Amino acid sequence: MAEKILMKGNEAIAEAALRAGLKGYFGYPITPQNEITAYMSARMPELGRVFVQAESEVAAINMVYGAASTGERCMTTSSSPGIALMQEGISYMCGAEVPAVIVNITRGGPGLGNIGPSQCDYNQVTRGGGNGDYDLIVYAPHTLQEAVDLTYKSFEISEKYRNPVMILGDGALGQMAETVVLPDFKEKEKPDAGWELNGAKARSPRSVKSIRLAEGKLLEHNLHLEEKFKLISRNETEYSYEDGDYDVLVVAFGTAARVAKTSLKNLKEQGYNLGLFRPVTVHPFPYEELRKAASKAKKILVVEMNRGQMLFDVRLSVQNDEKIEFIGKPGGETFMPEEIENKILSCLK
Amino acid sequence: MTVAFKKPESLLDAKTIYCPGCGHGVIHRLVGETLDELDIREKTVGIAPVGCAVLLYDYFNTDIVEAPHGRAPALATGIKRVRSDLNVFSYQGDGDLASIGMGEIMHAAGRGENITIIFVNNANYGMTGGQMAPTTLPHQITTTTPKGRNTATDGFPFKMAELIANLDAPVFSARVKITDPKNINKAKKTIKYAFSLQKENKGFAFVEILSACPTNWGKTPSEAVKWVSDAMESYYPLGIFKDIWGGE
């Protein structure tokens, strides 16, 4: 087994991407993800790969769009306001079916907000933000090891479905240090799947585009994207849940789930009957799995570092608002375990 | 039998959507001939703009990626950086390149990316129906300057070829027109030189082409061509503004 090493979250994510065979990194400075860009500026050239500091997030995502349209593994990283600027490119890439990985180390909003850890981009990344009907595949890790593992596999997932993937972290995950086991270096196995732009030599010319002007063609394309996302939902939905009949079932993702784990541990030691349902993919969302888990619980408590965004997905899933309670923390701040514990205790009354 | 004139292999056998008298058809042909003559068609990736040339993939027998409005130089940067063996060009209009994409073009030029930019200046937004572009001349009437471009409120046009030439990194920047056979031949020579620089890894090359838009200018094709030489050229002088390798 590989050695455990202590790494900062942002650097661990960067190293995992390198090891996944990343060929091109295009980034723009924004806190709290700056360590990724700095790390890449040293490591990518060291490995003979491409690093470009773009002039804006708009340019960075479009450099990824261009570079990834050749079939090379590419990535950009940013934080909330920067992700907002990337929505144009993300919409085009989803429409043109260009695989790539985008990391969002979320910070407090709206607007310039602050640089504290937040989950206020849930709607932005699961409900688009760019124009048109499209879906990102969004992973929400809650530890650095999980961030490393998900980043490492996200490139293959994005290529399998020709769809951009987002790693949804937050300032806490990006800035904390934790021990991780790093995966081995790998390369993309299949360099040409039949759509990549690499020169029309001994074949017809190819185009990568989201435009469909002929009557009916855009409808057809949208229905294809819809079918694709249904397939992704069937195959790739991930969550963490230990089966049980709980008095309170906490639903949380990312850093909120991490804090909730401490709260649950403290209360379970006092004899309370509590469980955690943690979506790992927040898009596709594990609606059916949560519905089943919730049907066996007396109360559902949704915990988010925002004003209640995943809450809507939980309501859609559970279909019983009477059972659902919510505790939120917007503004780029993190929960203390006691806050969640007190809320759980009030749910039990 | 000797074939005196034929379609370049780099162009598809397609009818374009362009209006009578539009310059795009000629410019496509010049780029197509260039790709043939430099033998780079098979390793070319072109970048289509948003504008009248958005359907570039219907006309070029090369790989094409379609960019969001103005972002073509960013896509070109990405492609060329990860695949330096490919020949990469963007084909952009004036609204695309000099307005919404001003940031992307200036920074791609500033980095000296080894790419070729074909910039078609027809002094208005063509596809959206003839609005004021950054290149619209003072007093020129467009759908958004019904009394003519008022420089007091609308500002002055951007001279892109000169702006690019002022940066340190680009190796070549020129302005040509395609009003008559002599100038079309000159334009061809300039375009071919710009692509040859990329082929030889010599750096960023920019070619601005003054081109007619009869439909939106409200002129006949022949009046429009005359307007390019009379009105546009006096504001946008032809010439080579930078050629550090000295080949043109």
Please give the average per-residue pLDDT across A145-159, as a whole number.
98
Secondary structure class of B75 (helix, strand, coil): helix
Structure confidence at residue A1 as a pLDDT band (50, 70, 90): low
| CATH entry, A4-192+211-236, from 3.50.30.20, 3.40.50.970, 1.20.1200.10, 3.50.50.60 | 3.40.50.970
In a domain, B78, yes or no: yes
Q: Which H helix or E strand runs over B107?
A: helix B102-111
From chain A residues 71-130, the ones with a CB under 8 A of any chain B CB are 72, 74, 88-89, 92, 96
Q: How many CB atoms lie within 10 A of CB A56?
A: 16
Domain boundaries, chain A: 4-192+211-236, 239-348
In a domain, B19, yes or no: no
Residues of B in contact with A96 (CB under 8 A): 65-66
DSSP state of B50: S
Mean pLDDT (chain A, rounded)? 97
Chain center to CA of A233: 15
Instruction: Please tell me the predicted confidence (pLDDT) of residue A2.
Output: 76
Structure confidence at residue A128 as a pLDDT band (50, 70, 90): confident
Angle at B160 between CA A91 and CA A67, to 5 degrees: 35
Closest Cα in chain A, distance from residue B140 (Å)? 32
Give the pLDDT confidence of A21-62 residue by residue, as tens digits: 999 999 999 999 999 999 999 999 999 999 999 999 999 999
Which stretches of chain B score pLDDT less than 70? none
Looking only at the bridges linking them, the beta strands covering A177-181 and A4-8 are: antiparallel
In a domain, B104, yes or no: yes
* Residue A27 near residue A40 (C-beta atoms within 8 A): yes
CB burial string A59-74: b at 16+ within 10 A, e below: bbbbbbbbbbbbbbbb
In a domain, B248, yes or no: no
In a domain, B4, yes or no: no
Cross-chain Cβ contact A62/B104 below 8 Å = yes
Cross-chain Cβ contact B103/A67 below 8 Å = no
Cross-chain Cβ contact A63/B74 below 8 Å = yes
In a domain, B12, yes or no: no
Is residue A242 pLDDT above 70, yes or no?
Answer: yes
Please give the average per-residue pLDDT across A180-185, as a whole number.
97
The number of domains in chain B is 1
Structural domain boundaries enclosing B73 = 24-243
Please give the average per-residue pLDDT across A315-331, as a whole number.
97
Domain A239-348, what fold?
Rossmann fold (3.40.50)
Please give the average per-residue pLDDT across A111-117, as a whole number.
97
Closest Cα in chain A, distance from residue B74 (Å)? 5
Please give the average per-residue pLDDT across A129-150, as a whole number.
97
CATH of the domain at B121: 3.40.50.970
Cross-chain Cβ contact A205/B64 below 8 Å = yes
Give the residue from B65, B100, B105, B198 with the most A CB atoms within 10 Å of its CB, the best one to mutate. B65
Cross-chain Cβ contact B82/A67 below 8 Å = yes
Helix axes of A80-96 and A217-236: crossing angle, nearest 10 degrees: 110
Give the pLDDT confidence of B181-193 residue by residue, as tens digits: 999 999 999 999 9
Cα–Cα distances in angstroms (integers) from residue B213 to residues A164, B20, B23, in the given order: 39, 9, 7
Closest Cα in chain A, distance from residue B14 (Å)? 14
* Residue A193 near residue A24 (C-beta atoms within 8 A): no
CA distance linking residue A249 with residue A300, whole number of Å: 5
Give the pLDDT confidence of B75-115 residue by residue, as tens digits: 999 999 999 999 999 999 999 999 999 999 999 999 999 99
In a domain, B150, yes or no: yes
A50/B contact by beta carbon, under 8 A: yes
In a domain, B3, yes or no: no
CA distance linking residue A333 with residue B183, whole number of Å: 64
Q: Is the pTM above the cut of 0.90?
A: yes
Query: Among partner residues A96, A205, A210, which is closest to B63 by beta-carbon distance?
Result: A205
Domains A4-192+211-236 and A239-348 share a fold: yes
Residues of B in contact with A207 (CB under 8 A): 57, 63-66
Cross-chain Cβ contact B12/A205 below 8 Å = yes
